[in-house]
Structure 1
Amino acid sequence: MPLDVESLRSHFPSLASGIAHFDGPGGTQTPRVVGQAIADTLTGPLSIRGSSVASERNADQAVLSFRSAMADFLNADPSGIVYGRSATQLTYDFAKHLSTGWGPDDEVVVTRLDHDCNVRPWVQAAERRG
């Protein structure tokens, strides 16, 4: 069966601009269904995670569902999946943690092909460590 390119493109509203972005961040070209799922989650009752009220249960379910879906996608253990504010913030946190053991002779290798969120945290961590 041939791939229906037009049908596939219709799921990505930003492509109607005539521009395709190949820089990698998750929000650059979000499929309509993803945007709707995010909107549904954020506009329903939502608060900190817990079990006392609906907003807490919804927050808990959002995190657990995310971990389960990513674990399924990556064939990984859901307890090893981290949910954070953004990929950029998670990279900053990880670079800061990992760099505590770096010394002056250690090197960080990044490329111009990567999105800045996959470069700057490592460069700044290296600068902090000398």
Structure 2
Amino acid sequence: ILPYLSPRLQNYFISMFGHKSATRWLGDLCGAKDEAIFAAQLQEKRNMYCTAGFLHAVGKMVTCAGDIVDVAVAGETAVFTFDEIEVRCKDNGETRWKPGISASKRFIFHVRDVEAYPQAMTKAMKSLLRELP
């Protein structure tokens, strides 16, 4: 995704991944790209499992084709779901869950199509991040 982003957004991720000084954040965003960190980050594998939670929190879902849609319209095309569960936790920390509706509104992340997930999430994030300046 990184090569397709705007220069400022590339610099944001370079600064974040490169653990650059927080006091120079504006210079990092507007300055020249650190090619060494950029090249190193292109070689890294990134998982996007927290991305699904952020999308779910705002009522969005990703389809197997990589489109970002409202949760209400995703239906069977959703590449992931957050399924409602009942959770019980004992004093000793033992936790058990089962599918079901609970008053506490707890969910479990479920990748519905493991093979489609990487490409779908990459396409979705690329389309989302390319909109940023």
TM-score bin, normalised by smaller chain: under 0.3
* Structure (1/2) with the larger strand percentage: 2
TM-score (normalised: structure 2): 0.24
* Structure (1/2) with the larger helix percentage: 1
Q: Which has the higher contact order (CA 8 A, sep 6+)?
A: 2
TM-score (normalised: structure 1): 0.24
